[in-house]
Amino acid sequence: MLNQTFSKNELAKVLKKGDGRKYNLWTDPDNKDEDLKKYAESICEKDYGISHILKQYRKQKPVFVIDPLRGGVDYLAIRKVDRNLRSIYKVKQADRASIVRQLLTILTDGSPMYLLKLDIKSFYESIDPSSLLDKIKVDQLVSKKTEMILQSLFVHPLINSLSGLPRGLPVSATFSELYMRSIDRKIRNSPGVYFYSRFVDDIVIIGFDKKDVMLGNVKGILQDSHLFLNPKKQEDDIQLNGRRVSTFSYLGYKFSIQRKNNENILYNFISVSIADSKLTKIKKRIIKAFLDYFRNTDFPLLKNRLKFLTGNCAIDITPNGNLMVGNYYNYPELTDVSVLRELDRFLFSLLFWENGYVGRKIISVLTKRQILKLAKYSFVKGYDTGNGEPMIFYFSQRQINNLTRCWKYE
């Protein structure tokens, strides 16, 4: 049974590695238990409420975070509130890897079907938290303290003036999944829908019905809940039984579907690559790594950044073990490795062909020996060292923060 209290032991369960330093929770790790006890007592006070919130902007959108200097108590409280909500309402974020595997299985089917790739417009901004707060109050499943802290969050001056859910705070992801639960069920059970998947605001539907019929049904269901599709990100002309190759991008992958006939048995051949937008992002990160080097001339840092981009890393961040990141772990279903060769050619062109401003600058500021050292890093070898295993480097969380600093607000 879930313990909803905000006790010292319960707060300890929501901590992640590095939180103590990031939120200034304690100056001496040896006093961790005593400090947690004080925070628990503070949260349990009758008049406690969330107060230390900062408003930032990322990609021209407001993002809200707990103040890392003064909001340590608020951070622990809101993490515990989110844990309570997720446990009680059995809210679980969709698993990206599982969705992709299911999608690949269905795409190989030779049956005549249509595919819709849709995006919910201004997703977080369109969800009214008041209806969810009312539901929580009526259900009477969460503790009074959990409910009171939630209420204090949404009456905070920065949050209260918002339309929709505040981006950046963990409870917003939980609220959005809770809000979409009945909507997902309705779309999944719509006539003609064979497969339905949603990852946050990205939707893929495969069905036997005509695309216009399926699209109309989805629009109607969403509009009943005050949600609308983003026409700029909509792909609704994908036939899975056509003679031409159909392509679409979803969850960072690019899927290419080609009709095949093997002894009168029709099936779809699926090629899986990295989405064009993600490919561009990696190239931009390579450029930014060099641009930052031109300013600081820190060659070991540049070398580690290329290690990070081309290889895979085990980051010591979770209590249960290392977090594995990198192209091998981000794209485990990749079948078209030509995209990795393209990235290698891009890096090689910068180092040796004086490609653009960055390429010309590299020749003038790096020695031949340094260039040859950087040329050893390869996206192809990082993904597969030759025996089916990825190249893995080890970095601490502090090193990762330093490595990724030049890409922070991309």
pLDDT digits (tens, 9 = 90+) for 128-142: 999 999 999 999 999
- Concatenating the DSSP letter of every residue in 124-146 gives GGG--HHHHHHHHHHHT-S-HHH
For residues 52 and 269, which has the higher predicted lDDT (pLDDT)?
52
| pLDDT > 90 fraction of the chain, expressed in percent and rounded | 67
Dihedral pair phi/psi, residue 114, rounded to 5°: -110, 155
For residues 354 and 391, which has the higher predicted lDDT (pLDDT)?
391
Reported confidence tier of residue 244, pLDDT bands at 50, 70, 90? low
What predicted TM-score, i.e. pTM, was given to this entire model?
0.87
For residues 266 and 234, which has the higher predicted lDDT (pLDDT)?
234
pLDDT at 302 over 60: yes
Contact criterion met (CB below 8 Å) for 26 and 35: yes
State the average pLDDT over residues 160-175. Answer: 93
Please tell me the predicted confidence (pLDDT) of residue 358: 84
Please tell me the predicted confidence (pLDDT) of residue 94: 86
Please tell me the predicted confidence (pLDDT) of residue 319: 54
Reported confidence tier of residue 353, pLDDT bands at 50, 70, 90? confident
Residue 370: closest CA among 302, 322, 307, 316: 302
Please tell me the predicted confidence (pLDDT) of residue 371: 93
Please tell me the predicted confidence (pLDDT) of residue 51: 93
Burial of 204 (0-12, 13-18, 19+ CB in 10 A): buried
Please tell me the predicted confidence (pLDDT) of residue 165: 96
Reported confidence tier of residue 264, pLDDT bands at 50, 70, 90? low
State the average pLDDT over residues 291-300. Answer: 93
State the average pLDDT over residues 208-219. Answer: 87
Contact criterion met (CB below 8 Å) for 393 and 13: no
State the average pLDDT over residues 294-315. Answer: 93
Please tell me the predicted confidence (pLDDT) of residue 26: 84
Range of weakest confidence among 224-233, 307-316, 335-344, 367-376: 307-316
State the average pLDDT over residues 325-342. Answer: 94
Reported confidence tier of residue 243, pLDDT bands at 50, 70, 90? low
Please tell me the predicted confidence (pLDDT) of residue 237: 67
Structure letter (DSSP) for residue 44: T
Range of weakest confidence among 57-71, 149-163, 311-325, 372-386: 311-325
| pLDDT > 70 fraction of the chain, expressed in percent and rounded | 94
Range of weakest confidence among 206-210, 244-248, 260-264, 296-300: 260-264
pLDDT tens-digit map of 80-115: 999 999 999 999 888 999 999 999 998 887 777 888
pLDDT at 320 over 70: no
Please tell me the predicted confidence (pLDDT) of residue 298: 94
Reading phi first (left if > 0) and then psi (alpha if -120 to 50, else beta), residue 355 is in beta
The DSSP H or E segment spanning 152 is: helix 144-154
Burial of 260 (0-12, 13-18, 19+ CB in 10 A): exposed
Rounded CA gap, 154 and 207, in Å?
39
Contact criterion met (CB below 8 Å) for 241 and 114: no
Please tell me the predicted confidence (pLDDT) of residue 112: 76
Structure letter (DSSP) for residue 399: H
Please tell me the predicted confidence (pLDDT) of residue 63: 93
Please tell me the predicted confidence (pLDDT) of residue 238: 75
